[in-house]
Amino acid sequence: MTTKTQPADIEAQVIDDLVVANRILAKKGVLDGWGHVSARCPNNPKHFFMARSLAPALVTAADIMEFDEDSEPVDQRGRRMYAERYIHGEILRARPDVMAVVHSHSSKVLPFSVTDAPLRALIHMAAFLGDEPAPVFDTRVAPGGDFTMLVLNSQSGAALAKELGNRSVVLMRGHGMSVAAASVRLVVFMAIYTQINAEVLLSALHLGTPNFMDSAEIARSDRPDRGWEAWAAEVRENE
Amino acid sequence: MTTKTQPADIEAQVIDDLVVANRILAKKGVLDGWGHVSARCPNNPKHFFMARSLAPALVTAADIMEFDEDSEPVDQRGRRMYAERYIHGEILRARPDVMAVVHSHSSKVLPFSVTDAPLRALIHMAAFLGDEPAPVFDTRVAPGGDFTMLVLNSQSGAALAKELGNRSVVLMRGHGMSVAAASVRLVVFMAIYTQINAEVLLSALHLGTPNFMDSAEIARSDRPDRGWEAWAAEVRENE
Amino acid sequence: MTTKTQPADIEAQVIDDLVVANRILAKKGVLDGWGHVSARCPNNPKHFFMARSLAPALVTAADIMEFDEDSEPVDQRGRRMYAERYIHGEILRARPDVMAVVHSHSSKVLPFSVTDAPLRALIHMAAFLGDEPAPVFDTRVAPGGDFTMLVLNSQSGAALAKELGNRSVVLMRGHGMSVAAASVRLVVFMAIYTQINAEVLLSALHLGTPNFMDSAEIARSDRPDRGWEAWAAEVRENE
Amino acid sequence: MTTKTQPADIEAQVIDDLVVANRILAKKGVLDGWGHVSARCPNNPKHFFMARSLAPALVTAADIMEFDEDSEPVDQRGRRMYAERYIHGEILRARPDVMAVVHSHSSKVLPFSVTDAPLRALIHMAAFLGDEPAPVFDTRVAPGGDFTMLVLNSQSGAALAKELGNRSVVLMRGHGMSVAAASVRLVVFMAIYTQINAEVLLSALHLGTPNFMDSAEIARSDRPDRGWEAWAAEVRENE
């Protein structure tokens, strides 16, 4: 008997986290029926896991597919796929440090994608937003620009990844946001707290001039590691 | 044995969708105890199905009645009926492309019915709202105008249908909205995302000048087809 | 065997409605742990029924007490009582047409009690609010004025009833509102839609100048009679 | 047999209240996965009880640890601890009248921590907020100031306790608030109604100039004692 974690175990863990992430993000209103979350394959870092085209609230391990570096299915078997899977493929290609991506239509975040009001770190739980306004991606003006508002091919995905740069969150005009992080659990945390930071900021802008986090504070911030357990327990309750 | 879907099956499917639609829309806050949703009869396109007068959250297949083109019951059997069923009858009469209608008092949409702020497509999921402000119906100034704020006869229903024109959504001043679409599932989608577009727009107007979808983007937009499954699963959970 | 409803049956029905009303209003956020709802005794119109001092969400038929016209208990048996029961006693004394009263701390209504923004009928479901601003009761300036913000005796209750006049809703500065209606089911409806009218009005005031219901529309409005069933079903589900 | 309550019983009662408090505050959105609540040990007033590092929604009696007056664990047994436990230790040290402390990231309260809008008593249920603006603690300018935004040692906790002074609530810039009260049940009440007062105040500031409670009213206010029962019943329902 060996205590070393086998690759198969690691993969099963990532897939389980991905399933739970789908359900948590649906419950928190980060994902409606149309958003998605992906994870880099631990045993093949050029590939990623993501559900077949299905509302996140319904995703189970059996729905997880593997996609290659061009966001094409390894073994489609007739399953329908998210049209915007290139968001995930291209961010993962451009950012080796990223292990998981969320694409969300959060109605709390959307207002910041269609106005000039800057979305930046106001509350310490969202320090990852940084002290510069989150970049806004607009398909109309992106390279190979079009009028779909969607990311339907690798070129568009690469343009989105470029707009994201080395940030954690990129807004998408009239469409939502994409979030990139070093693990599934972390990307869930970041997506949820981007939403909360947006809510608090909207209210703060009603009250006056917000006192944002400064760069020294952001530099000192750690990534919190509680929360997942409680969120996971909530969605597992009714299984 | 034939694989061809029989008319009776199609009708049963429409009625089942209609029941689920009632429950989804109640759960999402689109319908309070007083709104309603209808579907054109697949076997008799001049007629439509709608529940007897009952809060949408409680509707079952046994509560569905059939109405003729004048919104009169085919076989009333003493059941109470929605007083505003003419909304449905007249929109279905004026719009052969429409297969389903929702009438809602959504508190997120109502503010746009009582002010000059235009409700139009801001987020890509609500492209169907178009780039012109949603029309606003007002019984005081409509043909045969009255002071009921309600649509209680065919004349008033026809005036509402005229205000709707070839659009998907018509606001009703101080009263709510009506939504028309090519299927029950689509009208549920549109009613829910009209509500979300209204919420996002209210927040965006706090933040600055919203960057709306432009006409080229609206022209390119498809009608999404996910979501129903998850919404239906949620309301079927407790049956 | 007689088909005539016996007085005992009528009383049991009122008490059952009162219990369900407590639970509906708690679920809808109209009542927090501190509000209350009462009903005039059908067999003794000078008396009223109301729960012993208990959070509304927990009220059962066994918790209902009878109070006399001075808001004193008919048979206290050591039970603790709501300190503000005089709200109910004095409104019922002043208004023979009223059969039920709600006292609420609704956080949606409260903003209108502490500012000059007038709360009046904006949506047709809340026509009962009328076209004049809801009166605001302030213990500091009421006859026998004090600094409790509460209604702790008959004199203060009578002053509140006077401020209410022949209206359905009186705001209470920094404290909440009281609602009076011709039945328990109707007072539940009115309390819920006062809250919704307040929410819609807050949003409408963000968007521009609200187009309120006019007096002819208010005069034509009926009292809706659906909704109770669905609300009651919701709170009975888990019994 | 004696009817006198034994010390062990009192302690068990405090621990049970603390567990229920964790779950109530999580359900009400006062605590996310990262807030915490503590109680002074009844048998050793220099010590306090608090959960090991765990999301509040999941806390059970087995998770409660005892901390000494320097916020160090009496018997750690390898359990992870809240990094900000010094908030509790130092407030309890500075305020002998305080028996329980909540530290919250409430998104309703946060906007008041990052703007000049004063948070003070607007509604009678939140009279404990007083008629002066709640103090705001900022780690950047506090003695031994740093850029963590957090309270990670006794010095920082003492500075926070000093900012709190003899008040019930201290805001923490971009971070949340801490609440201090004479019992676990009371601190739960105060944390919930600080959140509601903040919500009502935000709306009131949209509507106009809020009419706050005056000092005579605040002086007359009692501490309410209902509510806990209903909140506790809600969280115990699914055990």
Length of chain B equals 239
Residue A129 has which token pair? 């937003």
Report residues of chain D scoring pLDDT below 50: 1-2
Q: Average pLDDT for residues C194-205, to the nearest whole number?
A: 98
- The reported pLDDT for the residue numbered C182 is 96
What is the average pLDDT across B153-166? 97
Residue of A nearest to D29 (CA): A196
Q: What is d(CA C177, CA C156) in angstroms, rounded to the nearest whole number?
A: 15
C-alpha torsion sign, points D160, D164, D170, D174: negative
Is the pLDDT at C239 greater than 90? The verdict is: no
Contacting A residues, span 115-134, partner chain D, CB-CB under 8 Å: 122-125
User: What is the total residue count of chain D?
Assistant: 239
**pLDDT of res. C99:** 98
pLDDT score recorded for residue D238: 56
Chain D contact for A67, CB < 8 A? no
What pLDDT shows up at residue A239?
56
Q: Say what the pLDDT of residue B4 is.
A: 63
pLDDT score of A182 = 96
Instruction: Give phi and psi for A3, each to the nearest 5.
Output: -95, -5
pLDDT bin (cut points 50, 70, 90) of residue C1 is: very low
More confident residue, A226 or A213: A213
Least confident of A220-229, B115-124, D93-102, D152-161: A220-229
ipTM above threshold 0.90: yes
Q: Coil, strand, or helix at residue D113?
A: helix
Q: Provide the edge-to-edge strand list for the sheet that holds C48-51.
A: C64-67, C48-51, C36-40, C100-104, C176-181, C169-172, C136-137
How far is C-alpha D212 from the geometric centre of its chain's CA atoms?
Answer: 23
On the question of pLDDT at B1 being above 50, the answer is no
CB-CB contact of D154 with D70 (8 Å)? yes
DSSP H or E stretch at residue C177: strand C176-181
The per-residue pLDDT of chain B, averaged, comes to: 94
Partners of A41 in beta bridges:
A44
Distance CA D141, CA D137 (A): 8
From CA A93, how far away is CA A162, in angstroms rounded?
Answer: 11
Strand partners, C171: C136, C177
DSSP annotation of B101:
E
Q: Is A70 exposed, middle or buried (0-12, 13-18, 19+ CB in 10 A)?
A: middle
Inter-chain residue contact A112 with B207, CB threshold 8 Å: yes
C105 in D contact zone (CB under 8 Å): yes
Looking at chain C, which residue has its C-alpha nearest residue B104? C125
A4 against A178, higher pLDDT: A178
Mean pLDDT confidence for B22-34: 94
pLDDT beyond 70 at C180:
yes
Mind listing the pLDDT tens digit for each residue in B4-23? Answer: 667 889 999 999 999 999 99
State whether D230 and C57 contact (CB < 8 Å): yes
- Whether residue D149 and residue A224 make contact (CB cut-off 8 A), yes or no, is no
* Chain C, nearest residue to D230 by Cα: C55
**Which residue is closest to B52 within chain C, CA to CA?**
C226
Give the gap in angstroms from C-alpha D45 to the nearest C-alpha of chain C.
31
How many angstroms separate the CA atoms of B12 and B31, rounded?
Answer: 23
Average of per-residue pLDDT values in chain A = 94
D131 chain-C contacts, CB cut-off 8 A? none
Q: Is the pLDDT assigned to residue A108 strictly greater than 80?
A: yes
Lowest mean pLDDT among A120-134, A172-186, D220-234: D220-234
Q: How many separate helices (H) and strands (E) can be counted in chain A? A: 7, 7
D174 touches chain A (CB under 8 A): yes
Residues in chain C: 239
Read off the tokens for D168: 């019930």
Determine contact, residues A127/A211, Cβ cutoff 8 Å.
Answer: no
Mean pLDDT of A191-206: 98
Q: What are phi and psi of D67, to 5 degrees?
A: -120, 150
The pLDDT, as a whole number, for residue C20 is: 98
The string of pLDDT tens digits covering residues C80-134 is 999 999 999 999 999 999 999 999 999 999 999 999 999 999 999 999 999 999 9
Radius of gyration, alpha carbons of chain A: 17
Contact yes or no for C109/C175 (Cβ under 8 A): no
Asked whether A59 and A51 are in contact (CB, 8 A), the reply is: yes
**Best mutation site among B54, B63, B110 for testing chain C: the one with the most C CBs within 10 Å?**
B110
Alpha helices in chain C (DSSP H): 7-27, 86-94, 110-113, 154-164, 184-207, 215-220, 228-236
Q: Which of B88, B87, B169 is nearest to B136 (CA)?
A: B169
What DSSP character marks residue D180? E
User: Which residues are within 8 A (CB) of A44 and not within 5 positions of it... i.e. 6 or more apart?
Assistant: none
The pLDDT value recorded for residue D143 is 80
The answer to whether the CB atoms of B115 and C221 lie below 8 A apart is: no
Is C69 annotated in the active site?
A: no
Write the DSSP assignment of C85-110 as a string of letters: THHHHHHHHH-TT--EEEEE--TTTH
C173 touches chain D (CB under 8 A): yes
What is the phi/psi pair of residue D104, to 5°?
A: -130, 150
**pTM reported for the whole predicted model:** 0.95
Q: In this predicted structure, what is the pLDDT of residue A3?
A: 56
Q: Which of A125, A210, A221 sits opposite D114 (nearest CB)?
A: A210
- Chain C environment of D24 (Cβ under 8 Å): none
Give catalytic residues of B, as residue numbers. 84
* Backbone torsions φ then ψ of D195, nearest 5 degrees: -60, -45
Q: What is the phi-psi region of residue B162: left when phi exceeds 0, alpha when psi lies from -120 to 50, beta otherwise?
A: alpha
- Please give the backbone phi and psi of residue A181, each rounded to the nearest 5 degrees, phi first: -155, 175
